[in-house]
Amino acid sequence: MARILDELDLRMMAELQEDGRRSFRQISHDLDVAPGTVRMRVLQLIQDGVFRVIGVPDPWRMGYKFHATVGLKLKPGNAEKVADLLAEREEIGWVGLTSNTFDVMFEVALPDSRAFGEYREHFLASLPGCVAVDVFEIWGIRKFHYRLVPPVTEWVRTHGIARESL
């Protein structure tokens, strides 16, 4: 069963989405609650898998010159197996099963476009049921920030939590 998030959960998550390094003490001060309450509830949210606090590297500043989102078209019955194979790879940031033109999409960072050419010919072509590979090379990012709140539900409407208050 999905955890029901209350206003304090949402406000704590908003604080951490703004700055994942913010201390429990600072969050407790900003939200006017006890530090122990913040610590306990944030750790519970993390344990429940509601969110994670991570560091996100910048591929260009790390020396990668090829960064792309890749869409794979696969023969029926191969999507989950291919997604699992991709998820094991270090050069891949995220993998998603999709319900559009592609069966699987993922993000990859490699040293340069030549490395991607070899990667495409040797690794991607060997994936089970691979029919087509479409590449969307990213040459610049204007925004990379997640500030998500749960979709409006009957519970939220009933309890009067306004998104604007987050």
Query: Could you name the CATH architecture of 7-55?
Result: Orthogonal Bundle (1.10)
pLDDT at 36 over 60: yes
> Is 0.85 surpassed by the pTM of this model?
no
Q: Looking at the domain 66-137, which fold is it?
A: Alpha-Beta Plaits (3.30.70)
Nearest to residue 84, comparing CAs of 48, 127, 47, 116? 127
Mean pLDDT across the stretch 84-102?
A: 95
Q: What is the pLDDT of residues 54-78, one digit of tens each?
A: 888 888 888 999 999 999 999 999 9
Contact 17, 146 (CB under 8 A): yes
Give the angle 63-67-69 at the CA atoms, nearest 5°: 160
Question: Could you tell me if residue 105 is left (phi over 0), alpha (psi between -120 and 50 degrees) or otherwise beta?
Answer: beta
Q: For the chain, what are the domain ranges?
A: 7-55, 66-137
Least confident of 14-18, 47-51, 135-139, 147-151: 147-151
Q: What is the pLDDT of residues 99-151, one digit of tens each?
A: 989 999 999 999 999 999 999 999 999 999 999 999 999 988 888 776 666 66
Confidence class for position 163, pLDDT limits 50, 70, 90: very low
- Percent of the chain clearing pLDDT 90 (strictly above): 65
